[in-house]
């Protein structure tokens, strides 16, 4: 049976979706995370700060479900501009140090609320 994962340590969904869904077979699907600080309700500014905030939001959701960055098997990084790829990548590398997940990174025409980066994540942990 699927389990909805929500934490007060990450921003609430801005639409009709869950922060994450955990499946009975150990997968955790985390919706694309925005660079909003849950405590202040404000968006981080600049690609470095936005990437850090997105990854902190992902970390909060992973932890709520009992997972860690080493359990992440796939990430999709959506960027407002590929000009921000190197800076995003530098921050991303600080969070993924043990096991590097499969990943795609691409630019999209426009992200919600005018943000520069959004990252969705899939994690797996054998039960």
Q: 69-115 pLDDT, tens per residue?
A: 999 999 999 999 999 999 999 999 999 998 899 999 999 999 999 99
User: In terms of residue numbers, what domain contains 12?
Assistant: 3-124
φ/ψ of 46, rounded to 5, equals 85, 150
Q: What domain count does the chain have? A: 1
Measuring CA to CA, which residue among 81, 75, 74 is closest to residue 106?
81
Query: CATH number, domain at 21?
Result: 3.30.1330.40
Query: Is the per-residue pLDDT at 40 higher than 80?
Result: yes
Q: How many CB atoms lie within 10 A of CB 51?
A: 26
**Which run of H or E residues covers position 59?**
helix 47-65
């Amino acid at each position: 049976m699927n389990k909805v994962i929500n934490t007060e340590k990450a921003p609430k969904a801005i639409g009709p979706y869950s922060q994450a869904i955990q499946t009975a077979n150990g997968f955790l699907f985390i919706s694309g995370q925005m660079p909003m600080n849950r405590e202040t309700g404000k968006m981080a500014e600049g690609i470095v700060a936005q990437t850090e905030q997105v990854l902190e939001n992902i970390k909060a959701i992973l932890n709520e479900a009992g997972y860690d960055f080493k359990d992440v098997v796939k990430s999709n990084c959506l960027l407002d501009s590929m000009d921000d790829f190197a800076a995003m990548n530098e921050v991303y590398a600080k969070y993924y140090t043990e096991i590097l997940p499969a990943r795609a990174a691409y630019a999209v025409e426009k992200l919600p609320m005018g943000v520069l980066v959004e990252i969705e994540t899939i994690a797996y942990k054998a039960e």
